[in-house]
Amino acid sequence: MKRPSIEELSPVRRRAFMRLCATILAAPAIPAALRFATNEELFGEAHAFGVEATLPTYFIEINLRDQWDFGHVFVPPGIATSVAGLTRGEANDALSLFFTADQVTSHGNGFYLTPDSQVLVPHLANIAVLETNELCQGAIHGHESCNPMRSPGRSKAQGAGQEATWMGEPGYTEQGNDFWYSSTPTPATIHNYHQKLLSPELANGITMKFISRSHTISHFAAGLLNAELSRIQSVQMLYDRFPTSIEDLALPTPEEAAVFAAALKRADGGFFARRGFNQAARDSHEAHLAAAQGKWYHEPKIISLPFDEAETAYWQSGVPDQVGDNKKANIWEQAGWAFKLLSNDVTRTAALEFDYLDVHDTRNESVMKTMAAQSALPLARLIEQIKAIPGMWERTVIAIYSADGGRSPSANSYGNSGKSSFVLAGGMIKGGYFGDVRPSGNTSTGHTWDYFSPDDSGAPVVPVSGDGSGRVNGGRSWRTVMAALQIPDEAVLQYPDAAAHQPLGFMLA
């Protein structure tokens, strides 16, 4: 019997057929080997390699405001190895770390975790942490909505080629935000732009404007057409934007279904062997075919954002709620919504915005433990869920920004000195805690601290000075995210405040 072929389809149908096949085969759950083999069978080797070069990537940007401190999540090596001799406490210059030396555990690559962050241990190979980034310069002890890691070169005075970064943000006020100008797009906007170039039918990327105070996060497109994120200002607005839907990827004619099914069947063990794929890839392919009984490609998907009881229990467990008089949405809810949207390929860009407390002068144990739970638990659960979808983790980047201010390890830190934190996670990320914070002296109530940035190998040897020299330029952090997201070099080099800097290669797998 003659095998079905794409040539048998009418010319009018071929392009639509190719688009639908691309949608089916690019889904996160489709193994790479199966995708390549089927594309080659359908359209030829050149097309198959071209598809691999333009696969989607998924980006979750988590912006934490009000001087977030990861001190109970990632303990700097210099503190972890000397904690037994340090004064710890909730006020003055005491170290705001509330675990003893025997409770802080080493996991290699500079990682020292507390009991509050042990949930991250299985994922450390793909988590990178850098806390000696440029400090924020907001007028109120560093508070700002932009920050140099997200938009390198931003300036209070409008320079050549710079535009206002705040214009798209609803209800923008100066309180805790400041007015900045820049020529560099923020990460989620440029990612949204490039993913929509790949897939014009894709839903627009979103940012969840769920910070409880007048503070916000600026997302800036720098003139990129149709790059601006959709600003979601309430939970109901989110549900209205993405109502429960059924997505049916059925191939519309029997002829098209036959061509697709035949291509799947021809990607057999012999084909995989010739292409050098290992036995695991072949087994995965055969399991997909057997489990779906030849019909997997047209089973409808129900996409619903509201959580059922089991989903609520999973995402919420152990994560403290948002506080304040204007609570909008919890960090665990935002993480769960982002996962649902991206894992179903509804959109590929989601930015989270969250705040806890604006703490000054004292940081007690409950504050540190709350910040740890609100950052470590949602991150671990996002990673766990993404890893459960074959092929998605390798194409996902999660970036967490301590979006304003900075904190020294001392309890009385006011937010305009010390650590300025940046966390990356994803299959394209090489794990490690890069840089260091070390005790440098004693005061009557605690300690002073020295900071060390990594050199180009990742070793923490570059001292940070009071004038900011030695800190990692925001352009390098920005370029690192762009490289992980596979944004083309020709696209990023057009931004002068980033083009002069190289990605941090030690953070990239």
Q: What CATH code is carried by the domain that includes residue 89?
A: 3.40.720
Q: What is the pLDDT of residue 296?
A: 38
Average pLDDT of the chain is 87
Structural domain of residue 254, as residue ranges?
A: 6-55+250-299
Q: Are residues 276 and 329 in the same domain?
A: no
Pairing of strands 245-247, 230-232: unpaired
Q: Are residues 140 and 165 in the same domain?
A: yes
Amino acid of residue 421 = S
State how far the alpha carbon of 208 is from the alpha carbons of 193, 244, 283, 372, 383, in Å. 18, 18, 40, 21, 20
* Average of per-residue pLDDT across 182-202: 95
Q: What is the pLDDT of residue 300?
A: 58
Q: Are residues 146 and 266 in the same domain?
A: no
Q: pLDDT tens digit string along 147-169?
A: 999 999 999 999 999 999 999 99
Question: Which of 198-207, 389-398, 432-441 ranks highest by mean pLDDT?
Answer: 432-441
Q: Are residues 94 and 22 in the same domain?
A: no
State how far the alpha carbon of 78 is from the alpha carbons of 110, 235, 335, 409, 412, in Å. 10, 42, 32, 12, 20
**Residues 195, 348 contacting (CB under 8 angstroms):** yes
Q: Are residues 375 and 310 in the same domain?
A: yes
| Residue 353, helix vs strand vs coil | strand
* Average of per-residue pLDDT across 479-488: 97
Q: Are residues 307 and 295 in the same domain?
A: no
**Residues 209, 231 contacting (CB under 8 angstroms):** yes
Question: Which of 29-38, 224-233, 266-275 ranks highest by mean pLDDT?
Answer: 224-233
Please indicate, yes or no, if residue 197 is contained in any of the structural domains: yes
Please indicate, yes or no, if residue 206 is contained in any of the structural domains: yes
Q: Are residues 310 and 295 in the same domain?
A: no
Q: What is the pLDDT of residue 167?
A: 93
- Element at 451 (helix H, strand E): strand 447-454
Amino acid of residue 294 = G
Q: Are residues 195 and 240 in the same domain?
A: yes
Q: Are residues 221 and 278 in the same domain?
A: no
Domain count, the chain: 2
Burial 335-355 (b: 16+ CB within 10 A, else e): bbbbbbbbbbbbbbbbbbbbb
Please indicate, yes or no, if residue 1 is contained in any of the structural domains: no
